[in-house]
Amino acid sequence: MNEEAYNSFESYLNNEMSTEERLDFESKLQDDSQFRESFELYKETSAFLEHKFSAETQDFKKNLALVSKDYFSEEEEGTKVISFKPWYYAAAASVVILLGTWIFMKGPTPEYGDYDQHENASFVERGDADENLKNAQDFFNKKEYRKAVVSFQKIQNLDNPEHQYFYAIALIETDNYVKAEMLLNEIQHGTSIYKNKAIWYSALSELKQKNVEECKSLLRQIPEDSEDYDKAQELLKELD
């Protein structure tokens, strides 16, 4: 398909033509059966992918344009004529099949919910004097994260890496990403046993926000001796 023909299909479908251009296009659809068939094929496959695989549609269109370029020719006979070649069907169908196969083999994009199985907090013994910390722990373990966040916020000196770690998770769960990242960064630059775990949860925070490249970059920073290393490698493979 030459550039003019490809653009005409796109312009027509996107209602970008002037009234005169639209009438000329529709006239050609009526008079030229091969042109009409090629347009219908493009429209149907494009609409299908828009509905089923909206995130992949632009890739499909790029592939279709490249394949089509070899199967449409332009002839000069006073005016430009688009000559449709029958074996274009096979080429276009191949693009659809290959793209569809790639999508299904790739599988669903991993989500934060696939990895949000948190360990229980256990930093307060029964009878501990800090009621807010005890409440934060209990709410966290019950998965009542908003209540846990409120309890953490009432603690005056929250400088313990373990407390910061669970507070950050509760913040991620309640979409308070900026504060969570501040806490996790502080832990990462420390020397506690939660240092590598903080990197893992920073990556999960980015995953929840759909920041795939940032997530992958953080996952690559998790060392092999970390207990989250295997999960990080698994997630990396699914994201690639």
* Final residue belonging to a domain, choices 72, 106, 140: 106
Q: What is the pLDDT of residues 179-193, one digit of tens each?
A: 999 999 999 999 999
Per-residue confidence (pLDDT) for residue 7, from 0 to 100: 74
Q: What is the pLDDT of residues 38-90, one digit of tens each?
A: 777 777 666 555 554 445 555 555 555 555 554 444 444 444 444 444 445 55
Query: Same structural domain for residues 231 and 148?
Result: yes
Per-residue confidence (pLDDT) for residue 83, from 0 to 100: 47
Query: Same structural domain for residues 52 and 97?
Result: yes
Residues in Cβ contact with 8 at an 8 Å cutoff, skipping those fewer than 6 apart = 17, 25
- For residue 132, what are the CA distances in angstroms to 34, 100, 125, 148? 74, 53, 13, 9
* Final residue belonging to a domain, choices 106, 138, 168: 106
The residue range of the domain holding 159 is 112-239
Say if residue 106's pLDDT is above 80: no
The pTM for the full model equals 0.58
How is residue 174 written in tokens? 């309640």
* Final residue belonging to a domain, choices 106, 127, 157: 106
Q: What is the pLDDT of residues 135-181, one digit of tens each?
A: 999 999 999 999 999 999 999 888 999 999 999 999 999 999 999 99
Q: Choose between 132 and 60: higher pLDDT.
A: 132
Query: Same structural domain for residues 126 and 94?
Result: no
- For residue 116, what are the CA distances in angstroms to 100, 169, 201, 203? 30, 9, 9, 12
Residues in Cβ contact with 124 at an 8 Å cutoff, skipping those fewer than 6 apart = 130, 133, 134, 137
Query: Same structural domain for residues 64 and 125?
Result: no
Query: Same structural domain for residues 116 and 130?
Result: yes
Query: Same structural domain for residues 102 and 189?
Result: no
- Residue 28: pLDDT band (50, 70, 90) is confident
Query: Same structural domain for residues 161 and 190?
Result: yes
* C-alpha torsion sign, points 62, 67, 69, 75: negative
Number of domains in the chain: 2
How is residue 128 written in tokens? 């501990």
